[in-house]
Amino acid sequence: MMTTEIARTLNLLVCVLVLSFSFTVRAQPSGSVPTEIRLQPGQTLEDLAKKYFNDPGAADEIRALNNISPGTQPKPNTALRLPGKERDQALMTIRVATQALQQAQADGAEEYAPQKLEKTKKSLQAAEEARKRAAYKDCRRLADETWALARMARKESLDRRPKQNRFTVSVDKQGTTRVEVMEGDGVKVTAGKKSTTVKRGYAVRVQPGKEPEKARQQLPPPQPVLPVNRSILVTSSIYFSWKPVEGAHRYVLLISKDRAGLQPVRQLTTANTSYLLRSSLADGSYHWFTRTVDSQGLVGRASRSRQFTLRTATDGGTDEPVPPRPQDKGK
Which among 83, 102, 118 is the end of a domain?
83
pLDDT given for residue 210 in this prediction? 86
Give this prediction's pTM. 0.43
Q: How many structural domains does the chain have? A: 3
Q: Do the beta carbons of residue 73 and residue 44 sit within 8 Å?
A: yes
- Cis amide leading into 264 (omega within 30): no
**How confident is the model over 62-85, as pLDDT tens digits?**
999 999 998 899 999 999 999 989
Angle (CA) 39-41-47 rounded to 5° is: 60
Whether 11 and 109 map to the same domain: the answer is yes
C-alpha–C-alpha distance, residues 114 and 149, integer Å:
12
pLDDT given for residue 129 in this prediction? 95
**How confident is the model over 193-207, as pLDDT tens digits?**
888 888 887 888 888
Q: Do the beta carbons of residue 24 and residue 173 sit within 8 Å?
A: yes
Q: With CA atoms as reference, report the closest residue to 248 among 292, 198, 284.
A: 292
Sequence letter at residue 224:
P
Q: Which domain holds residue 67?
A: 34-83
Distances (CA, A) of 20 to 176, 193, 197, 318: 12, 16, 22, 60
Q: Do the beta carbons of residue 6 and residue 191 sit within 8 Å?
A: no
Q: Report DSSP state, residue 299.
A: B
Distances (CA, A) of 78 to 39, 291, 300: 5, 51, 52
pLDDT given for residue 11 in this prediction? 46
Whether 18 and 101 map to the same domain: the answer is yes
In a domain, 330, yes or no: no
Which among 217, 241, 263 is the end of a domain?
217
In a domain, 59, yes or no: yes
Strand partners, 167: 181
Q: What is the DSSP string of 38-75?
A: EPPTT--HHHHHHHHHS-GGGHHHHHHHTTPPTT--PP
Whether 212 and 229 map to the same domain: the answer is no
Angle (CA) 262-17-26 rounded to 5° is: 90
pLDDT given for residue 326 in this prediction? 54
Sites in the chain below the pLDDT cut of 70: 1-31, 162-166, 185, 314-331
In a domain, 271, yes or no: yes
Helix/strand/coil (H/E/C) assignment for every residue in 178-232: EEEEEEECCEEEEECCEEEEECCCEEEEECCCCCCCCCEECCCCCCEEECCCCEE
Which among 187, 217, 247 is the end of a domain?
217
Q: What is the mean pLDDT of the chain?
A: 82
Distances (CA, A) of 29 to 64, 125, 137: 21, 25, 19
In a domain, 317, yes or no: no
In a domain, 265, yes or no: yes
pLDDT given for residue 163 in this prediction? 61
Whether 17 and 52 map to the same domain: the answer is no
Whether 66 and 107 map to the same domain: the answer is no
Sequence letter at residue 143:
A
Whether 16 and 158 map to the same domain: the answer is yes
Q: Do the beta carbons of residue 212 and residue 196 sit within 8 Å?
A: yes
